[in-house]
A and B are shown apart, each in its own frame.
Chain A
């Protein structure tokens, strides 16, 4: 079974600085998708960024980028120029390409942004 591990329960960053959130996963599949979701205090789940495993190029969405290391099964999220609105829980998630349709989530990292 696929597992997703986020080893940092909490992280803190100064406003305007850069922070990296870690995620590792375990799978025997070769094709899959990885996601980072943000859950602010409102509890609404918001997709931040997505990575296709068959793509070598790391995904980027404005201030958010990933470092995808397929061989190491690592998928970290980098947030540049951190803003107060970035404070939230961040969840890493995995999804198979052809098999199971469900998302498998990590346990989350709580990000605090200090002014």
Chain B
């Protein structure tokens, strides 16, 4: 059973461009979480999705950021008009259910660099 897949692993964008980060959860997992890690900091929650639904987007900036998890295909975190402050590692995690004790399995992350 393959783990959580994220691509690309590294992404370089110039200010004003769009960044698309992809996350394929583990097989059988229908819950996806996105976290952002700024340099030398812990992970900060951004958004929680189930198939075709956004459940909790309380950690995601209201502007320029959006996320989706379609019925078919990976979850996408989209950042429009990137700025230097968006440079960070973005981690996706998945779980089979949403219970409190259920482990979230993390992908290897996408490191976004904005020039």
Contact = CB atoms under 8 A, between A and B. Distances in A.
Contact of A44 (B45, B104, B108): B108
B14 interface: no
Contacts of A45: 43, 91, 93, 106
A104 B108 CA distance: 19
Is chain A's binding surface mostly helix, strand, loop or mixed? loop
Interface of A: 4, 6, 31-33, 42-47, 50, 52, 91, 95-98, 100-108
A93 to B, nearest CB: 8
Interface of B: 31, 33, 35, 41-45, 48, 55-56, 58-59, 89, 91, 93, 98, 100-101, 103-104, 106, 108-109, 111
21 contacts: A6-B42, A43-B109, A44-B108, A44-B109, A45-B106, A46-B106, A47-B103, A50-B103, A95-B100, A97-B100, A97-B101, A98-B100, A101-B33, A101-B48, A102-B48, A102-B56, A103-B104, A104-B45, A105-B42, A106-B42, A107-B41
